[in-house]
Structure 1
Amino acid sequence: MQENYLAKWLNNELTEAEMAEFKKSEAYATYKKIKDVASNLEAPAFDMDTAYNSLEQNKVKESPKVFTLAPYKPFLRIAAAITVLLVASFFYLNTLNKTITTSYAENKTITLPDTSEVILNADSELAYNEKKWDDKRNIELEGEAYFKVAKGKKFTVATTHGTVSVLGTQFNVENRKDYFEVACYEGMVSVTINGKETKLPAGNSLLAINGKSSTYKVAVNGKPSWLSNESSFRSIPLHYVMDELQRQYNIKVTYSGIDKEQLFTGSFNNDDLELALKSISVPLQIKFKLDGNQVLFYEEKAP
């Protein structure tokens, strides 16, 4: 069998005589299976420049080794290359996630494949499998997001603290370090934390801080305050409030003589830093000093 039969076969260039001879070879069945599978694959988008730069940065700089190949080895090399590409394509297509992130002082609006809408708050990340969305409506969330789910559409929001299952509803999820909160504004959501499921109908919210859970009321058909450029808190330890201040204004907050565990109830504006600092300091009777992008909070009685 000629060494170029495989290439000619892949290009449909074999004569009838050559094809008959090729089919008699031991490797024909394997090559045919590879070709059949390859014909059903949809190649993902590919950025040649990015791939080339990545290859140049990671390739091992070693002298190439030379091997003497038997007459049929070229077929094996071609088949091996095709197999590697098929396997790589399979795993790539099945693990492909679309990831959206926001940095400090940034919000983003995302439209999901089923037309559901998600708004990401500052310093957050959302990921989902775009290729398999119809089969697996699963979203991974770090940070905070408001979801407006299309009617009749169901999916799950997975976080490090718990999961939220929904069907045609509007709700907000915040997933930060040691802090997890779900507020339902329309419809109903199911929240599972450590294997325990809680049903939240519209107008209810579940808050878990350091593993301790509590519920409280929210406005039916309302929205989280941050969508109106305001961050609101109800009996929340102060350091969580300061963390949100940093996220909304991309600043660094430090303390001097301040009890970071004291509870804070109130809100601050996300558009006016000076006003935000006063909204926190005045109720707590503390002072602040703003220097560039750094803020120091300190006791009012301190010298």
Structure 2
Amino acid sequence: MSESEEQHKKRLIKRYKSGQASEEELRSLFTLLSLDELDCLMEEDMDEEIRLQRKGNGDTGGKRKMLRLQIAAAASILLVLSLGFYFFFDRNIEHYGQDKKAVQHTGRKILPGGNKATLTLANGREISLDDASEGDLAYDNGIKIRKSREGQIVCEVQEVKEGQQGLPKTANVYNTISTPRGGQWQVILPDGSKVWLNAASSLTYPTVFDENERRIEMTGEAYFEIAKRYKTTGANTQGNQARVPFIVKAGGQLVEVLGTHFNINAYPEEKVIKTTLLEGAVAVKAAGNRGRVVLRPGEEASFENNVINVSEVNTSQAVAWKNGDFIFEDQDLQTTMRQIARWYNVEVVYERLPDNIMIGGYVSRSNDVSVVLQAIELTGKVKFRIEGRKITVTR
């Protein structure tokens, strides 16, 4: 290891211990810890502290006790990091000296969800999209299922040409792609737009988009990257070629898009439909209502009881699921557990309802569920018991 690398790692440890580490520095530190690249430096750091304590005070019993607590805290954090997650811990060091029982678990491990979906064609035929191999897999009614060169599984919807498979180009035919609990999927629409579906979600779309409007309907949660599309005739008020709007219906909400990246969370069990804008611009309105709200990047529209409220948010939290993570920022426990239940396809029950327990932190969705629950347990606010596919929340 070069001197510059060693100094960099020592600086990360020093800034972490002083509480001055930035989020980026924390991520770097945690990555190094998970790769076991800081063990020697941490031991040297602890040895140096002991040497200084002995030099400054012959009686180091009290300081040794505190040091042991610090080491216990470091060990807890190392355990957490070795499992691939990070949560916001209590700043009180003695918090880590308390007895912490692991998640009580009976039965097999509950593994994370994966690429699972079902395509339901307009004629009622169902096609399982699970476990697709590389290359073109199927073609039916304008749907080509394939695995890309990069190993990404996609479902590509293609325009149905006149006379193809007995369907005229003007046929108003709709197909639906749905993911189960514990599933996710990516869809590439015929205009080049990309849609990622989270667990327990669905996307209904026409096999042929209208020339003046692209309209789809969804439930659950989806992330969109909408391609720009222009009308073959006509122009807008500035004399430029007019764009074909893209409209997403989710519950009682309509989102109109011209070309942008955004996320919609519209699960029926959630009270609020959330539309989060990352890039471009979208207009959000209630179905049947002429009034609308235009979002800017970094803003989120919350739709509840036919009322839309807009706020600035951390967009990384909204799209964490698409990037393979859970991110909880001051989020209530019940909302957190509903996210976990959908991704791991489990039942969640409460011995008693939690009292305003808020969760903060992030954890990879690639871990088995006990790892995720252990991260939450280490906050000291709640405990879990796993029996089969049922998770019981206790205090």
Q: Flag the structure with more relative contact order, 1 or 2, with Cα contacts below 8 A and sequence separation at least 6.
A: 2
1:235, distance to aligned residue in structure 2 (A): 3.9
2:385 matches 1:289: yes
Q: 1:284 to 1:215 in 2, by over 3 A?
A: farther
SS of 2:337's equivalent in the other structure is helix
SS of 1:248's equivalent in the other structure is helix
Aligned Cα root-mean-square deviation (Å): 3.2
SS of 2:222's equivalent in the other structure is strand
Give matches, 1:1-303, under 5 Å: 94-152=171-229, 154-177=245-268, 178-193=271-286, 195=289, 196-208=291-303, 213-219=309-315, 224-259=319-354, 262-272=357-367, 273-283=369-379, 285-299=381-395
Q: 1:274 to 1:138 in 2, by over 3 A?
A: same
Asked if the contact 1:185/1:223 (under 8 Å) is kept, the reply is: no
Q: 1:240 to 1:45 in 2, by over 3 A?
A: closer
Cα distance per residue 1:135-194 (max 9 Å; x no partner): 441010101111011134530000113111111111111101222111111111111136
Identity between Structure 1 and Structure 2 (%): 26
Equivalent-residue separation in structure 1 for 2:182 and 2:312 (angstroms): 28
Asked if the contact 1:268/1:280 (under 8 Å) is kept, the reply is: no
Residue range with higher mean Cα deviation, 198-207 or 103-112:
198-207
TM, length-normalised to structure 2: 0.49
Q: What amino acid sits opposite 1:287 in the alignment? A: K
How many matched pairs? 215
1:298, distance to aligned residue in structure 2 (A): 0.4
Asked if the contact 2:299/2:310 (under 8 Å) is kept, the reply is: no
Counterpart residue number, 1:85: none
Asked if the contact 1:161/1:175 (under 8 Å) is kept, the reply is: no
Asked if the contact 2:298/2:315 (under 8 Å) is kept, the reply is: yes
Equivalent-residue separation in structure 1 for 2:359 and 2:306 (angstroms): 19
Q: What amino acid sits opposite 2:187 in the alignment? A: I
Q: 1:193 to 1:281 in 2, by over 3 A?
A: farther
Equivalent-residue separation in structure 2 for 1:151 and 1:191 (angstroms): 18
1:264, distance to aligned residue in structure 2 (A): 3.7
Query: Where do 5+ consecutive residues of structure 1 fail to align?
Result: 1-43, 49-88
Query: Where do 5+ consecutive residues of structure 2 fail to align?
Result: 1-120, 126-165, 230-243
Residue range with higher mean Cα deviation, 171-180 or 129-138:
129-138
Equivalent-residue separation in structure 2 for 1:193 and 1:261 (angstroms): 30
Asked if the contact 2:122/2:175 (under 8 Å) is kept, the reply is: no
SS of 2:342's equivalent in the other structure is helix
SS of 1:115's equivalent in the other structure is coil
Report the structure number with the largest CA radius of gyration: 1
Equivalent-residue separation in structure 1 for 2:260 and 2:222 (angstroms): 14
